[in-house]
Amino acid sequence: MNDPKQNAINELNFEMQDVELFKISDTKTRIATVQNYFFPRLEIVMHATMDLIQKVYGVNPYEKMTFVYYPNNRKKSIESRDFYNVHIGLSGKRRTDRDLKFKRRDGKPFQLHPTYLTYTIYFEGAARVELLPFRQNVSAEFINVVADLYRDNYKTLSTVFGTQQISHERAYDFVDLQDTFIGEQDAVNRTLLFSPTFYFPVSVDRGLWELIVSFTAFYPLLEAFNALGEGETPELTQRLSMFKNWLLTDVQEDEVDADRNDIEDETPLVLPELDSYTFVRAGLWWSILARDEWTCCSCGRSAKVDGVTLEVDHIVPRSKGGSDEMDNLQTLCKKCNIGKSNRDSTDLRRMTTE
């Protein structure tokens, strides 16, 4: 498919038995096992991701980014703090020559960038990509600058995030994606953006590639937030355009190549019209998936059992007047949704029950 499949990641698998290491009763032993067994495998994922980031955006992420790990307890620590998930990811490199431009909520200057972008593994064997914009409580000034940047790029961000099913953890406040960084400061500081979740077993052909693409889609925001902290001008608009161009070329070509052995009459695949893609509110998104029992209404496959990416599809496309009401929404896997596109108004739920 792409560069990540040309190296060690092609043989990497996270199996159900890997979950057993999280059940080790002694905290210090469990941390040591994670650091010596789990982190080296996650580093393979990270290096493959860095390669893709460099390919998509034409930048070297190693220059300004540093790896972050959790748990990061030192081997000689007297007391080991317990933990409930594992993550590895990126944050901006620490400035040693000066403080960052924006301050923390308590008025003290930042020396470490507050934004983390990580692959996070939960103890039940669930993996997803998470962007934590404000790892520490940041000042209202920083939040306002971030909100302005997000608002200025909202349309393109919604396109990119929509294709990757990216949601946010303020959905319980019924906050639209556009207003994620607006509102009460305490709520904004707790904002978390995340990709769909894939359950073990996970491999390149079963969820891992989708996670790598989601991480790459998040990268422009991480880079932009770091630029704000440095007092530099973010290049968010250009980066998002690069991702869309890559998505519409490399991914579409890969889908066509993958299907050539399965069909006799080759017809070009049509990606959803990205500029008209409307992000379905997180609460509604998950309600549709739950109603359809987390399975594709067309092929019957699920994320947990079959490792497919599930999407919420408008039966009657919005471009043809379709609404965001539940009766006009259905669950499709990514492959079935791409095949349907916005030219088809078939209600696949009824076809499967008749």
The model carries a pTM of: 0.75
Tell me what pLDDT residue 209 has: 94
Inside any domain, residue 204: yes
Euclidean distance between the first and the last CA atom of the chain, given in angstroms as a whole number: 38
Asked if 219 and 311 sit in the same domain, the reply is no
Residue ending a domain, choose from 240, 256, 272: 256
- pLDDT tens per residue, range 133-152: 988 788 888 888 888 998 89
Asked if 41 and 139 sit in the same domain, the reply is yes
- The angle subtended at Cα 193 by Cα 191 and Cα 199, nearest 5°, is 130
Inside any domain, residue 50: yes
Number of H helices, E strands in the chain: 12, 11
Inside any domain, residue 262: no
- pLDDT tens per residue, range 233-287: 999 999 999 999 998 887 555 555 555 445 444 444 444 444 334 556 655 776 7
Question: From CA 328, how far away is CA 101, in angstroms rounded?
Answer: 47
Tell me what pLDDT residue 348 has: 61
How do strand 198-199 and strand 310-314 relate by DSSP bridges? Answer: unpaired
Asked if 241 and 292 sit in the same domain, the reply is no
Could you check whether the bond before residue 71 is cis, i.e. omega within 30 degrees of 0? Answer: yes
* Intervals of the chain under pLDDT 50: 1-6, 77-78, 260-261, 263-277, 353-354
Tell me what pLDDT residue 351 has: 55
Asked if 329 and 189 sit in the same domain, the reply is no
Asked if 36 and 149 sit in the same domain, the reply is yes
Asked if 189 and 245 sit in the same domain, the reply is yes
Tell me what pLDDT residue 198 has: 94
> Which is nearest to 207 in space by CA: 217, 222, 195?
195
Cα 100 to Cα 103, 109, 226: the distances in Å are 7, 7, 9
Residue whose tokens read 């940047």 = 149
